[in-house]
Protein backbone atom coordinates (compact mmCIF):
# COMPACT_ATOMS: atom_id res chain seq x y z
CA UNK A 1 0.00 0.00 0.00
CA UNK A 2 1.40 3.37 -1.04
CA UNK A 3 0.30 6.59 0.63
CA UNK A 4 1.11 10.06 -0.64
CA UNK A 5 1.42 12.33 2.39
CA UNK A 6 1.10 15.99 1.42
CA UNK A 7 2.30 17.80 4.54
CA UNK A 8 4.65 20.73 5.10
CA UNK A 9 5.14 20.29 8.86
CA UNK A 10 8.04 17.87 9.51
CA UNK A 11 6.67 17.07 12.99
CA UNK A 12 3.31 16.02 11.56
CA UNK A 13 5.06 13.95 8.88
CA UNK A 14 7.04 12.13 11.57
CA UNK A 15 3.97 11.60 13.81
CA UNK A 16 1.92 10.24 10.91
CA UNK A 17 4.62 7.85 9.75
CA UNK A 18 5.35 6.66 13.30
CA UNK A 19 1.63 6.08 13.93
CA UNK A 20 1.39 3.72 10.95
CA UNK A 21 4.59 1.95 12.03
CA UNK A 22 3.16 1.48 15.54
CA UNK A 23 0.24 -0.51 14.16
CA UNK A 24 2.57 -2.71 12.10
CA UNK A 25 1.17 -1.39 8.87
CA UNK A 26 2.90 -2.30 5.62
CA UNK A 27 2.70 1.14 4.08
CA UNK A 28 5.19 2.91 1.90
CA UNK A 29 5.02 6.68 2.39
CA UNK A 30 5.81 9.14 -0.37
CA UNK A 31 5.95 12.63 1.09
CA UNK A 32 5.80 16.04 -0.55
CA UNK A 33 5.96 19.29 1.41
CA UNK A 34 3.93 21.69 -0.74
CA UNK A 35 1.00 21.80 -3.10
CA UNK A 36 3.05 22.39 -6.20
CA UNK A 37 5.08 19.24 -5.54
CA UNK A 38 1.84 17.31 -4.99
CA UNK A 39 0.46 18.29 -8.39
CA UNK A 40 3.82 17.46 -10.00
CA UNK A 41 3.75 14.08 -8.27
CA UNK A 42 0.52 13.18 -10.08
CA UNK A 43 1.87 14.46 -13.39
CA UNK A 44 4.94 12.30 -12.93
CA UNK A 45 2.92 9.29 -11.81
CA UNK A 46 1.21 9.21 -15.16
CA UNK A 47 4.44 9.27 -17.16
CA UNK A 48 7.35 8.02 -15.03
CA UNK A 49 7.73 4.33 -14.27
CA UNK A 50 9.94 5.07 -11.24
CA UNK A 51 7.11 6.73 -9.33
CA UNK A 52 4.28 4.76 -7.79
CA UNK A 53 0.66 5.81 -8.10
CA UNK A 54 -0.58 6.25 -4.53
CA UNK A 55 -3.38 4.07 -3.22
CA UNK A 56 -4.41 6.81 -0.78
CA UNK A 57 -3.63 10.50 -0.26
CA UNK A 58 -3.41 12.24 3.12
CA UNK A 59 -3.71 15.95 2.32
CA UNK A 60 -3.08 18.94 4.56
CA UNK A 61 -5.00 22.07 3.58
CA UNK A 62 -2.56 24.78 4.64
CA UNK A 63 0.35 24.28 2.28
CA UNK A 64 2.87 26.58 0.64
CA UNK A 65 2.56 27.46 -3.06
CA UNK A 66 -0.75 25.67 -3.78
CA UNK A 67 -3.17 24.99 -0.94
CA UNK A 68 -5.05 21.76 -0.35
CA UNK A 69 -8.34 23.11 -1.70
CA UNK A 70 -6.72 23.89 -5.04
CA UNK A 71 -5.06 20.47 -5.12
CA UNK A 72 -8.49 18.86 -4.72
CA UNK A 73 -9.78 20.97 -7.61
CA UNK A 74 -6.81 20.21 -9.86
CA UNK A 75 -7.04 16.46 -9.29
CA UNK A 76 -10.78 16.44 -9.91
CA UNK A 77 -10.52 18.53 -13.09
CA UNK A 78 -7.31 17.35 -14.69
CA UNK A 79 -6.85 13.65 -14.03
CA UNK A 80 -8.07 11.36 -16.78
CA UNK A 81 -8.73 8.65 -14.22
CA UNK A 82 -10.35 8.60 -10.80
CA UNK A 83 -7.92 9.81 -8.16
CA UNK A 84 -7.21 7.56 -5.22
CA UNK A 85 -9.20 8.30 -2.07
CA UNK A 86 -8.15 11.67 -0.72
CA UNK A 87 -8.40 12.17 3.03
CA UNK A 88 -7.97 15.73 4.21
CA UNK A 89 -5.90 15.69 7.39
CA UNK A 90 -6.02 19.21 8.80
CA UNK A 91 -5.69 21.02 12.10
CA UNK A 92 -8.67 23.18 11.12
CA UNK A 93 -12.00 22.33 12.68
CA UNK A 94 -13.93 25.13 10.97
CA UNK A 95 -17.17 24.12 9.33
CA UNK A 96 -16.33 26.16 6.22
CA UNK A 97 -13.12 24.16 5.63
CA UNK A 98 -14.96 20.88 6.09
CA UNK A 99 -17.76 21.85 3.70
CA UNK A 100 -15.36 23.20 1.09
CA UNK A 101 -13.23 20.05 1.23
CA UNK A 102 -16.22 17.83 0.52
CA UNK A 103 -17.47 20.20 -2.19
CA UNK A 104 -14.11 19.76 -3.90
CA UNK A 105 -14.39 15.96 -3.78
CA UNK A 106 -12.43 15.00 -0.67
CA UNK A 107 -13.40 11.49 0.42
CA UNK A 108 -13.07 12.28 4.12
CA UNK A 109 -12.14 15.12 6.44
CA UNK A 110 -10.07 14.23 9.50
CA UNK A 111 -8.84 16.61 12.18
CA UNK A 112 -5.20 16.15 13.15
CA UNK A 113 -4.85 14.54 16.54
CA UNK A 114 -3.18 16.30 19.47
CA UNK A 115 -1.15 13.42 20.91
CA UNK A 116 0.92 10.51 19.55
CA UNK A 117 -1.63 8.04 21.01
CA UNK A 118 -4.43 9.79 19.11
CA UNK A 119 -2.31 9.65 15.92
CA UNK A 120 -1.96 5.89 16.50
CA UNK A 121 -5.74 5.50 16.86
CA UNK A 122 -6.33 7.55 13.71
CA UNK A 123 -3.80 5.45 11.77
CA UNK A 124 -5.58 2.29 12.91
CA UNK A 125 -8.97 3.69 11.86
CA UNK A 126 -7.59 4.68 8.44
CA UNK A 127 -6.08 1.24 7.96
CA UNK A 128 -9.23 -0.57 9.12
CA UNK A 129 -11.56 1.32 6.81
CA UNK A 130 -9.64 2.83 3.89
CA UNK A 131 -7.04 0.10 3.46
CA UNK A 132 -8.67 -3.11 4.65
CA UNK A 133 -12.37 -2.54 3.91
CA UNK A 134 -13.02 0.12 1.27
CA UNK A 135 -12.87 -0.74 -2.42
CA UNK A 136 -10.79 1.68 -4.48
CA UNK A 137 -11.02 2.71 -8.12
CA UNK A 138 -8.66 0.80 -10.41
CA UNK A 139 -5.17 2.22 -10.83
CA UNK A 140 -4.52 3.98 -14.12
CA UNK A 141 -3.03 1.77 -16.78
How confident is the model over 79-98, as pLDDT tens digits?
A: 777 788 999 999 999 999 99
Q: Look up the CATH architecture of domain 2-131.
A: 3-Layer(aba) Sandwich (3.40)
Residue 108 scores a pLDDT above 90: yes
pTM of the model: 0.90
Give exposure, 20-44, as e/b (b: 16+ Cβ within 10 Å): beeeebebebbbbbbbebbbebbee
Residue 46 scores a pLDDT above 60: no
Amino acid sequence: MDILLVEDNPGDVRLTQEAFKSIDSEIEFHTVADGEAATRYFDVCGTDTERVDPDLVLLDLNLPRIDGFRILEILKEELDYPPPPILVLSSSETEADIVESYERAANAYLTKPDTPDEFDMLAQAIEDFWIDSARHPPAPS
